[in-house]
């Protein structure tokens, strides 16, 4: 199976890196092209994947075409490759935020099997969280194959398209917010005398363990908060100070702004 990526920015590189680490796909199975040779050529040299001269060549030579360009250029790029997207032989996977299946079908072909996805950056290490929704033409083995790519680089969830914006905020963008939280913890550690490297490692490990605890424990996060908060202790003092500064409100406001921006695409 040949997988072609159109657009080779941060997200496409994360998916390719994850696929090469976590699946049986080899660099020769992966084709790429984007608008910026200065990005995709060094990436092709580093990973051994094949750089093609045009978007159309990628679409022509691939069984699965992954649209990984920014939303503002998705329309002209699909118009450019539409003739290569033979509905009997190809699957289109889109990772473009805010681009509906209806619009993808209008642009790429009404009979084409299409999987709309919304992955996150952590696919690069096999720990992604990806939302998927297939159109009616993507069924059976082909659907398993397309969704299976994302299952192998993390977890997937099938969601109605109406929930994609919320998912995008909670899982697509949230790695940035969690990295921000880790960096904030780490800076606090530096303020109190730790080196940045030590503080970052300590904070990241604590965040990873806490996420795993939420997933594996029967308790909800509030129950776990209570378990950490010793009566009269330091944790509850910290929690109250964070809440006084508006911790939960700032998180919810950030997610609201993320969803509003995604809906405006």
Q: Which residues are annotated as a binding site for NADP(+)?
A: 6-11, 34, 68-71
Q: Residue positions in the annotated binding site? A: 6-11, 34, 55, 68-71
d(C-alpha 199, C-alpha 212), whole Å: 20
Tokens 């998912």 belong to residue: 167
Q: Does 97 help bind ligand A1CAB (rule: CB under 6 A)?
A: yes
Site track 126-165 with ligand A1CAB (rule: CB under 6 A), x = hit: ----------------------------------------
Find out whether 131 and 167 touch, Cβ atoms under 8 Å.
yes
Nearer to ligand NAI, 177 or 187 (CB): 177
Rounded least distance, CB 111 to ligand A1CAB, Å = 28
DSSP three-state, residue 137? coil
184 touches, from ligand NAI, ligand A1CAB, none (C-beta below 5 to 8 Å by class) = none
Q: How is residue 97 written in tokens?
A: 């935020």
Find out whether 132 and 82 touch, Cβ atoms under 8 Å.
no
Residue nearest to ligand A1CAB (CB): 172
Q: Exactly one of 172, 186, 189, 200 binds ligand A1CAB (CB under 6 A); which one?
A: 172
Q: Does 168 help bind ligand A1CAB (rule: CB under 6 A)?
A: yes
DSSP codes joined into one string, 182-247: HHHHHHHHHHTT--HHHHHHHHHHHHHHHHHHHHHSSS-HHHHHHHH--TTSHHHHHHHHHHHTTH
d(C-alpha 54, C-alpha 221), whole Å: 49
Q: Residue positions in the annotated binding site for NADPH? A: 55
Nearer to ligand NAI, 4 or 7 (CB): 7
């Amino acid at each position: 199976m040949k997988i072609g990526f159109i657009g080779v920015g941060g997200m496409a590189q994360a998916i390719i890196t994850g696929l090469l680490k976590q699946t049986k796909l080899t660099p020769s199975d992966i084709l790429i092209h984007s608008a910026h040779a200065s990005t995709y050529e060094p990436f092709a040299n580093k990973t051994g994947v094949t750089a093609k001269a045009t978007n159309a060549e990628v679409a022509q030579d691939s069984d699965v075409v992954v649209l990984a360009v920014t939303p503002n250029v998705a329309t002209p790029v699909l118009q450019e490759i539409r003739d290569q997207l033979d509905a009997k032989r190809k699957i289109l996977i889109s990772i473009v935020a805010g681009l509906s299946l209806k619009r993808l079908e209008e642009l790429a072909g009404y009979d084409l099997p299409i999987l709309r996805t919304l992955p996150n950056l952590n696919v690069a290490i096999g720990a992604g969280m990806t939302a998927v929704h297939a159109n009616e033409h993507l069924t059976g083995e082909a659907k398993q194959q397309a969704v299976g790519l994302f299952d192998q680089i993390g977890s997937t969830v099938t969601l109605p398209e109406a929930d994609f914006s919320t998912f995008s905020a909670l899982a697509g963008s949230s790695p940035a917010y969690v990295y921000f939280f880790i960096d904030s913890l780490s800076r606090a550690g530096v303020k109190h005398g730790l080196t940045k490297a030590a503080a970052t490692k300590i904070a990241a490990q604590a965040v990873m363990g806490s996420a795993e605890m939420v997933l594996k424990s029967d308790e909800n996060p509030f129950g776990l908060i209570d378990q950490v908060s010793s009566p009269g202790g330091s944790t509850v003092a910290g929690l109250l100070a964070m809440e006084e500064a508006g911790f939960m409100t700032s998180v919810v406001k950030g997610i609201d702004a993320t969803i509003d921006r995604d809906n405006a695409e």
